[in-house]
Every structure is written in C-alpha cells, then in structure tokens.
A and B are shown apart, each in its own frame.
Chain A
Amino acid sequence: MERKAPEPVQVVKQRRDAALNALVSGVPYITFMGISFDRRGDELTGLLSFDDKLIGNPMLPAIHGGVTAAFLEVTAVISLSWAYIWEDFESGALDVEALAAGDLPRLPKTIDFTVDYLRSGLPRDAYARATITRAGRRYASVQAIAWQDNRDRPFAQATAHFLMPRDD
C-alpha cells in the first residue's frame, strides 16, 4: 500500500501562520494593545510588547491591572478559538484563504473571567499561555497564566468560562 507523501514543510507553516494571523489581526483591540502570538506547532504563547500607554501606576511604575486582565483574556479567547478551528483548517474543511480575506469564524463569548494578581507587572514585555481544561460543545473552561522574566514566577493567573459559537 502506498503512503501519501507528507506535505512540504513550507505549506504546513504557511497554512498555520495564515490561519493564526487571520484570527489575531482581525481583532482591532488586540492590535491596539500590542499583543501578538508566537506559535510552535499548535502551542500558542501570547506576547504583550511593553508600551507607556499600558501603565496603570506611574509612581511605581507598574502595568495596569486592566491591561493584565485583558492580556490574559485575549490569550484565552485566541487559544480557545485556535483549538476550535485547528482540525477544520488542517483538514481543509475551513478555507484559510477565505479566513485571511476576513471571513472569520464566530468567536467564543466570555461568560465570566476571574483574575488573580500575584505580583506587580513590571514595565517590560509579558508572556501568557492558556490551557483549555474543558472544551464542551456549548461551554468551555480555560485557565491562563502570565509571566515576565521567569516562567516559574507568574505575575497573574486567570480562570474563565466561555460560551462556544453555535454551528448554524
């Protein structure tokens, strides 16, 4: 039996990067905040590039608690959407070119979001990763964690629930 040749590496990368870019660049608020995503296979890491407009306490100075919350929420929503569409664009059921042209999938809606502030956010870049602890048909539970210098010393963590888009 003949095995199908694997796809060339650049085809795989191009498809995944295009899908991720479409998902992220379609949301104005993510651009406004200066958040981008680093991809390794299907694993995403959110990157918050420091800017003076993200400051919440000019005396310390420290990143605004709302910025930290928003960064965790953006990372959670994008990671969840990404996992939700992954199978479809990998199989070809979801057309990446249409996605890139702006035909985006419906996004999950945040039901609730809880953030714990563990230490103050320093005026420098921050990183975040989200873990989908349960992805149901209607509801999903996601945890997210953000750090700056050391992965082992997170400065904030979050738990969130989302309402998944309906398939109709």
Chain B
Amino acid sequence: MTADKVTIARQFIELIPHARALGMQIMEIADGMAEISMPYDERFIGDPKTGVIHGGAVSALMDTCGGAAVMSHPDAPAGTATIDLRIDYMRAATPGQTITARAEVYHITRSVAFVRATACDDDTDRPVATATGAFTVEGS
C-alpha cells in the first residue's frame, strides 16, 4: 500500500462532519487497520446518573473506525459503506476517560470487507465493547 493512500484515507476521515462533531482523532491508520480515539465529553453522556457515555457514541466510533480500516486496505480501491454492524457492550466506559477503538479488516473479497473492532478506555485489559461488521468494497 502506498503512503498516498493512507494520506487520502486519513484526510477523508478527518473531514467527516460527524467524526469531527464527536471529536474523533485518528491515532493510526494503515493496511486495513485503524485506531481512532474519542475523548470524554459531557455532551455525549447517556446515563445522567453515572456520567457514562451513550452507546450510540460508541457505535459511531466503531463504525467510523471500521470504515477507516476498510478504506486503508490495499485491496479496497475507493469508498465503503456499512452493510451491518453488531456491537457487544461488555461494560460501562469509565466516565472522564478517552475511548479508543481499534479495527482490522480480517477478510476482504471483491465486494465485501469483514471487520472486527475493539474499544477500550484507560484499562486496556478489559474492553468496553467489541464489534463485528460487514462493509461494502466500492469502485472495483
């Protein structure tokens, strides 16, 4: 994979309005793998009693990260769209901590990319959530 492709994928993700609205930051992106962080923000609280971030914001992070992984894959010529995404919520993310998702394309065909992702807060031994998804491979 060329360095140009990584740059294009990075630029595209950084320009996504909703990714910006959630304050997402690309930590790493290369060859079918992406790591994206979402710092804690009180506007994203889902349970006012505990201050825990809403699952929806975690879903958006997982989806963006999965899409970024597909876009950076050497066999994916252009864009991608999510076909389906399943998220398992293992535990509540600790309030105040950044959530970081890491996604990898574990198999890709001409039409479909299969993705796995894990989201963690500061305690990286115990994931907050995991996800599996299928994404389209477009432009081939």
Q: A: which residues have CB within 8 A of B?
A: 26-33, 52-59, 62, 64-67, 69-71, 73-74, 77, 102, 104, 106-107, 109-117, 120
Contacts and interface: CB of A to CB of B under 8 A. Distances in A.
Contact of B88 (A58, A69, A112): A112
A65 B136 CA distance: 13
B81 A26 contact: no
A57 B55 CA distance: 21
A49 B83 CA distance: 23
B54 A55 contact: no
A70 B83 contact: no
Interface of B: 15-21, 42-49, 53-57, 59-64, 67, 79, 81-89, 92
B87 A112 contact: yes
Contact of B15 (A52, A58, A65, A110): A58
Contacts of A52: 17
A26 B48 contact: yes
Contacts of A59: 79
B133 to A, nearest CB: 9
Contacts, number: 131
Contacts of B81: 57, 62, 65, 117, 120
A49 to B, nearest CB: 14
Contacts of B48: 26-28, 102, 104
B116 to A, nearest CB: 15
A164 to B, nearest CB: 14
B45 A69 contact: no
Contacts of B16: 55-58, 64
Nearest to A66: B60
Nearest to A32: B43
A105 B18 CA distance: 30
A71 B15 CA distance: 22
Contacts of B85: 65, 69, 114-115
A69 B56 contact: yes
A31 B42 CA distance: 12
